[in-house]
Structure 1
């Protein structure tokens, strides 16, 4: 087992292990985590999703603290997937399709550093992540892709009411399907 590299646990690498030893983790920041999570829930081969905070410098952050933009955390979705069913490249394709990676610290009406675009990699995912970013840059032509690619730091699970938020119905109580392969439009609402 690896030992922490700093005295600040928030800066340590994410050393959590998937529930199944044949599964892997991936971590993505692409704006508000609710819609991004639902998109990943629908992807065949994804066995679990959790929303939370990563890449910041404050241990055990709360939603309120992250939104104050003093912690440098990103709203992320941590995806547990079966690479035999869903290669990492499938996750990357979905990630790029779910947001505008050319807007710095913003996705639509959501503005702040917690909404930045990022791929936070585990083990041998860095090279594939970088190649996918280069391909997206070619596709984006003159618009600079600002997605950061960094090692996955400690994952702090968000408050329970954020987990599977849109599937549960959100504030409006209108549930959205997380069924594998569902193509229904994803509607984000607080």
Structure 2
């Protein structure tokens, strides 16, 4: 385990754990593989960086830009992703676990077999997202999360909570969305359906 160091992001060694370290992000997109980062910090934008098989624990990434990034088989655990910008990113088999992701922006992202567990995604933007092989939000807070312009086939929100969810009032976009009966009532109201 490497602790309390200041390093360039390109100097990370695979299969190593870094704790309480400071990383400088180079101006050229970097590739990071097989590392665990605990309570680490970054200097510079993470835009365009590629992460493979990484575990990110207890990181404060609030309001940071990580646009057009690539994350394969990564897990965010107990991270602060408040307002983090993942615009246009590609995620495959990537999970959010116990994170705060209110106002997170995943608009234009491509998500393959991804999900979130016990994560707050209040007012998160998942607009124009392409979902492949499903997206499961398990016990998440999705109040006013926005899925405008997204085809929701394979999206499972049944165990999560929301009073209002922003989706297109278009049956083609909603086809394949999994909701519980209570949630379905709020989505059906978009079509003028009243449930007694």
TM-score by length of 2: 0.21
Q: Which has the higher contact order (CA 8 A, sep 6+)?
A: 1
Which structure shows the bigger proportion of residues in strand conformation? 2
Larger radius of gyration: 2
